[in-house]
Each structure stands twice: as structure tokens, then as C-alpha cells.
Amino acid sequence: MFFVFCGLTNDGVPDDVFEPLVSMKYFDFQGCKFTKLPKEWFGQKGGWSKNLERIAFFINEIEEVDEEVFSWHPKLKAILLHGNPIDYIPASYYADNDLKVFTI
């Protein structure tokens, strides 16, 4: 799923909007206006997002990341957040994944 420079905001995305997408591997939102990555977008342990391999939010306005947002993704290989105001995410936020690439 790729949404590029389409103006989406946190207010425009309900918490459960992605739940039917159990086979999705790539979650890319470049150039939107997200300010936060809420854990509710990615569901519960063993839920729809367990197959995600890449989460990318290039060039957004992200200043806050929920502690558990990157949990429960055993196949996650890349988290790409460059071009955002956030400059640090504790390693414990993504410790349960087999990451190969992580950028801020």
C-alpha cells in the first residue's frame, strides 16, 4: 500500500481502517501530514499487521511514536522515518523485530 503526497492526516485515518489488509507487506505513506504513529493502526499481537515487512513514513510531520507501534511484527525488516521532526526512538520500541534497516 503506497500513499504518496496525498495530504492524509491522523484525523483522516480511523484506528481500525487497515484491519482487513492481512496480506499487506509494505505500508508506505510518503509526504503526508501525519504527526503521530499510533499503535492502534497496527492492531494487536498476531493481528492483521503480522505480515508487514516494511513501514515507511518518509517526509511527514511525525513528532510522536507510540511505544508499541513497532511490536508484534516478526517479519518487519525496515522502518523508514527520515524527513520527520522526530529524531530518536528507543531501541525497545522495535526490539522484537528482525530489522535490517531503520532510519530517522
Residues 6+ positions from 52 with CB-CB distance below 8 Å: 24, 25, 26, 27, 42, 73, 75, 76
- Report the predicted TM-score, pTM, of the whole model to 2 decimal places: 0.85
Task: Say which DSSP state 91 is in.
Answer: G
Domain boundaries in the chain?
1-13+20-104
The dihedral sign for the CA sequence 32, 26, 81, 64: positive
Confidence at 97, pLDDT banded by 50, 70, 90 = confident
Tens digits of residue pLDDT in 56-88: 999 999 999 998 888 888 889 999 999 999 988
Which CATH fold would you assign to the domain 1-13+20-104? 3.80.10
- How far is residue 33's CA from residue 31's CA, in Å, rounded to a whole number? 7
Average pLDDT of the chain?
88
